[in-house]
Copies of this chain bind each other. A is one copy, B any other.
């Protein structure tokens, strides 16, 4: 849906965002200041900033956290995220296509996917360890398992919503059965698949702490977990903010991709 009279004031948007962020920080500062909740739970912006400086290695007085700088923690987590999401998204698209296109697989695989996507990661973490050890693999697998279902569900549903006439048209134009998924279904379903990917990346993010329960340092999730157990809430909040900001960044990328790749949304 587009505004009937579109008017894009990027400057205004940036201003609004800035105001919103400034407002949020101000509220945070006030809440921390008023000590409505104990400082262990709501640390002040100042102490979080201080932790940022200390752990990022930007100032001399800190040497990171648990032997790694903030950047190293973040990078380690992002690397896992990237691999896990890549496999999860790829697998989700393939599974979703199979389920959406092949009735037999919908009957058999559909329930399997639904079953698997309800399973709580905390319950099967030890299985991942026994299968994949304690290094990168179990973390990547967990992130994969978190990212896959939203994409699979969105893809399967999107496939069912592809106008049958597109498929008929393509078949009449000589596209073989094997080409339909890639040449018709995937592009036609792209908008909803991209929505599914956006959801999936978010879900993967929420799983990063659980994934880094297993030998998770370096890693932002491991850092958060560690800090939380020692009630170093300023570090926890620092980690949360970093996660959120990087999440914002990737979501913005995905939304950009969505706008570029599926410009016909709301107009076709």
Contact = CB atoms under 8 A, between A and B. Distances in A.
B108 A17 contact: yes
Nearest to A221: B120
Contacts of A115: 244-245, 247-248
Contacts of A185: 1
A164 B1 contact: yes
A255 to B, nearest CB: 9
Interface residues of A, number: 85
A232 interface: no
Nearest to A111: B248
A16 B154 CA distance: 24
A108 B16 contact: yes
A225 B122 contact: yes
Nearest to A117: B202
A74 interface: no
Given A112-B20, A118-B244, A228 B126 contact: yes
Given A114-B202, A120-B209, 19 more contacts: A1-B101, A4-B167, A17-B111, A20-B111, A24-B112, A41-B127, A111-B248, A115-B244, A118-B205, A119-B206, A119-B240, A120-B205, A120-B207, A120-B240, A122-B209, A154-B195, A154-B199, A157-B192, A192-B192
